[in-house]
Amino acid sequence: MNLSTLLRVAHPFVLTAAVATASDKAPPTYQNGSVQGWDIRVDTNYSGNGSMSRRAKVYELRGSDLVYRIDFCGAFQAGKFGIGQAVAYRVDGERLYIRHDGNKEYKCKIEGTKAAGASPAAP
């Protein structure tokens, strides 16, 4: 059997294995939290042509164990959620995902965390 015949025969099996592996993946587990507040952070980027400032809305999301400071959340950043609103979220590395509209997620960057019972840091 030559290589091209072997590839034609093996191709359907490789595709079936890839589909089976993808469907075996467990759905993510979400936790319940609430949006506690937000503040504005000003980021300044310096370049050869001067500087450019950007205002970023940084949210506090209170979970069961930690309070997360998050930003860069796409449509969530635009104010889709209100203070005190309950949300379902999951954490994966440096990202926090907030579930909305069933299976969709807002992907946010975690800027920092603190213990849920800790008092706010002094300015």
Rounded Cα–Cα distance for residues 24 and 11 (Å): 20
Coil/strand/helix, residue 48: coil
- Assess whether pLDDT exceeds 80 at residue 8: no
Question: pTM for this one?
Answer: 0.68
Within a domain: residue 81? yes
Within a domain: residue 85? yes
Who wins on pLDDT, 15 or 2? 2
The pLDDT of residue 122:
41
Within a domain: residue 9? no
Residue-wise pLDDT tens digits, 10-66: 555 554 545 555 567 888 899 999 999 888 889 888 888 888 888 888 899 999 999
H or E stretch including 112?
strand 104-115
Within a domain: residue 110? yes
65-85 burial: b if 16+ Cβ within 10 Å, else e:
ebbbbbbbbeebbeeebeeee
Within a domain: residue 54? yes
The pLDDT of residue 88:
94
Within a domain: residue 101? yes
Who wins on pLDDT, 48 or 79? 48
